[in-house]
Structure formats: structure tokens, C-alpha cells
Amino acid sequence: MPAFILPAPDRVFATWSRLVQLPTFWGDFWITFSRVLAGFGLSAVVGALLGLLMGVSTKAAEFFEPLIVIINTVSSTIWAIFALIWFGLSEATTIFVVFMTAMPLILTNVWEGTRQVNPDLVELARSFRMTRGQVLRKIYLPMILPQFFTGARLAFGFGARVVLVAETLGASSGIGYRLRQAADLVQTDQVFAWTLTLVALMLVLEYGLLKPMETWLFSWRKAVKN
């Protein structure tokens, strides 16, 4: 098979080794990473707050649920096109696409967590004159955190993937932009090398940050079981 269609692994690794020595490689790497973090951070805050609001307010749930269904039916490519029209070639374009893709995942999981809270337990807490803050911290938070973290991990993974779509369509820097450049020039080895970079980044984040953080946050579960 021709190398421009499917390059050999050693050629891809050689290309990747050459790319990592270039200052522009690390510049594009950190640009993409910062966009994912910005979009994810925004989606985590908004998704958690809206999910909690929907869990404690029936009216809020009735209002926002149809909107979330609509948002989920729109693909990341369509959001990227809308973002290009609204924001042009800017940082806001990629961050917006990550946000619109990741936020519903976190919102839905947090909402589900609040729905698992026993209403009788909340009423009992109020009968003991616990403040709203205490009810939230001692009753809702333990139920929400596991669901939030599950949604956050999914959202981060989706965000890392859709940022490539946004960068391919509407950015002049980042891994997605370099992928488009390499594809336009039929530099398939570079396409694979940049893809390998993204995979490596996701593995490091998953097993070096997210999984250890989850283990640390929920270590109390094992203690309770024992």
C-alpha cells in the first residue's frame, strides 16, 4: 500500500520525533490543550449549576429539559459552523464548540444525581433546622459528586475530540489546524503523528490526572464498605 495512504509505523514515529523538536509543535499542543480546558471549565461550572437547579426546581427542569434535548441533537460540526458565523476565526469559536458539546453531559449527570436524593432525608434535615447550605453540602453533594465526575470524564473526552473539528474548520493554530494542513498537502505521516499526539495527551490526562483524582475523591466509599 502506498505510503501516502497508510504510512509505516516507523515512518510515523520518525515524523512524530521530528515534530516534537519544533517549537511550533509545543505551541500548537498547548493552544489546543488550553482551549479544551477553557471549554471544559466553563461547561463544568454551568452544567453543575443548571443540573443542581433542575434537580431542586420542577419548573426549572420543565424549562431546560427541552432545550437540552435540542442541544444534544445538534452535532459538533453544526455548532462549529454557527460559531464561525457568530465569532469568526477566534478563540471563542473553539471554546464555544467544546462548551456546547460537553455542558449537556455534565448537566444531565448532575441532574440525575440530585434526583437520587431521598426527599424524606431532605425533610428530616429541615426538621432539624439545617440551613440550605448544610443540606446541599451534607445531603446533595455526596450524591452529586460521583455523577458529576462521571459526566466530567465523558465531557473532557468529548471536548478533546470536538476541539479538533472546531480547529479544523475555524482556527489558524492548534492540533486540528495542523491536521488540516497535513491532509491538504497529503502528508499522511503527519496526520498520523498529530493524531498520536492527541491520543497520548488523552491517555496522560485519563490515567495521570482524572483516574487518580477520582480514586482520591471517593476513597471514602471503600472505607464505608469495609
Whole-number Å distance between alpha carbons of 33 and 67: 29
Determine the pLDDT at residue 46.
93
- Residue 22 belongs to some domain of the structure: no
**Assigned domain for 26 exists:** no
What is the rounded CA–CA span in Å between residue 205 and residue 188?
26
| pTM value > 0.75 | yes
Cell readout for 217 is 475523591
125, 197 in Cβ contact below 8 A? no
Domain limits for position 174: 39-220
What pLDDT does residue 42 have? 93
Residue 171 is predicted with a pLDDT of 74
CATH number for position 86: 1.10.3720.10
Kindly report the number of other CB atoms within 10 A of residue 58's CB atom. Answer: 9
pLDDT of residue 45: 93
Handedness of CA 122, 128, 134, 139 (dihedral sign): negative
Which residue is associated with the grid cell 498520536? 196
Whether residue 184 lies inside any domain: the answer is yes
Residue 6 lies in a domain: no
68 belongs to a structural domain: yes
Query: Angle at which helices 58-73 and 23-56 pack, to 10 degrees?
Result: 140
CA dihedral 38, 151, 211, 96 (to 10 degrees): -20
Task: Give the C-alpha separation, 221 to 226, whole Å.
Answer: 9
- Does residue 2 belong to any structural domain of this protein? no
* CB 174, CB 163: distance < 8 Å: yes
SS3 track for 109-156: HHHHHHHCCCHHHHHHHHHCCCCHHHHHHHHHHHHHHHHHHHHHHHHH
pLDDT attached to residue 169: 80
Q: Are 166 and 83 in contact (CB under 8 A)?
A: yes
pLDDT averaged per 10 residues in sequence order, the chain, 226 residues = 68 84 86 88 92 86 89 85 85 88 90 80 75 75 80 82 81 83 83 85 78 72 54
**CB of 154 within 8 A of CB of 210?**
no
The tally of domains found in the chain comes to 1
Is 12 a member of any domain? no
Vertex 173: Cα angle to 168 and 174 (nearest 5): 75
208 is a domain residue: yes
